[in-house]
Amino acid sequence: MSQSADPKLTRTSFQKGLDDLKDSLIEMSRKAEEAVELAVDGYRSRDPNKCQAVFELERQTNEDERAIDEIAIDLLAMQQPVAVDLRFITACMKINADLERVGDQAVNIAQRALNAITLPVTSLPIDVERMGTTVGGMIRRALDAFVSGDADLADAVLGMDDIVDRLNIDCYSSMVRKMKESPELAEQALDALLVSRNLERIADHATNIAEDVIYWVRGMDVRHGFAAKKLRSMQQP
C-alpha cells in the first residue's frame, strides 16, 4: 500500500520526518558550536591540531547541510503541509543555512589561528575567550529556543548580540591603535581584529536563527523589524 493511500499513515510518516529534521538540525548545531569553540581554543592556545579539527568539522557540516535540505524538500513534496508545519520547515531551511555559515566562520578563525602561530607570541588587549563564550552561548540558546519553541528565549539572543557588537568595536579600536604604535606587531593585531570580526559574524548568524524561531513561533517576521538596529550593527567595523 502506498503512503498516499492512507492519510493516517502519511501523517505519521510526515510527523516522523519533521522530528528527523529537528533532530538533524540539533546535531548540526552541536557541531557548529564545537567548531567555534575549537577555533577559538586553537587561536588562544596556538594549537594547529585544533585548527585541523575545525576543518574536519566543516566538512561534516557541509554534508549535514545538504542532507537536511533534502529532508526538508522531501517533506514539502510529501504532502501539502499546513501553515504551521510549512513555516517550521522553511525556518529549518534557513537555520540550516546559518549553521553552515557558522562553520565557515569557524574555519576563517582557524585559518587566522594557523597564521598567528607562525608569528612571534605577543600579548594583545583582546578578550577572545569572552567573545567566544558569549557567541557559543548565543548559538546554544538560539537552538534551545528552537527546540522548545520558546520565542522569549529567542528574544534574549537578540539582546546578547549587542554585547558582542560592543566587544568587536572595542577590539577594532585597540587593534588599530596597536598597529600604529607597534608596526612590527601589525600582523598579529590584524589576525586578532579579523578573529573578532568573525565572532561578530557568528553572533549575527545566531541572531538570524533566533529571528527565524520567532517567525516560526509567533508567525511574525522580525528579521527587518530591527532594521535600524541591524544597520547600526553593520555600520560598525
- Is 65 a binding residue for its own copies by CB under 8 A? The answer is yes
Residue 41 or 204 with smaller CB distance to its own copies: 204
Alpha-carbon distance of 204 to 198, in angstroms, equals 10
Burial of 131-163, coded b for 16+ CB within 10 Å and e otherwise, reads: bbebbbbbbebbbbbbeeebbebbeebbebbeb
Does 18 bind its own copies (CB under 8 A)? Our answer is no
Burial of 90 (0-12, 13-18, 19+ CB in 10 A): middle
When binding is defined by CB under 8 A, the residue of 108, 134, 168, 207 that contacts its own copies is 108
Is 79 a binder of its own copies (CB under 8 A)? yes
Q: Which amino acid is at 97?
A: A
Cα–Cα dist 36/104, whole Å: 10
Find the part of the chain contacting its own copies (CB under 8 A) among 13-21, 124-132, 160-168, 174-182: 174-182
- Asked if 93 interacts with its own copies (CB under 8 A), we say yes
The C-alpha atoms of residue 65 and residue 180 are separated, in whole angstroms, by 42
Chain positions 186 to 215 lying near its own copies, rule: CB under 8 A, are 186-187, 190, 193-194
Q: Tell me whether residue 9 or residue 73 sits nearer to its own copies (CB atom).
A: 73
Residues 6+ apart with CB under 8 A from 218: 151
Interface residues with its own copies (CB under 8 A)?
55, 58-59, 62-63, 65-66, 69, 72-73, 76-77, 79-81, 83, 86-87, 90, 93-94, 97, 104, 107-108, 111, 176, 179-181, 183-184, 186-187, 190, 193-194, 221, 223-224, 227, 230-231, 234-237
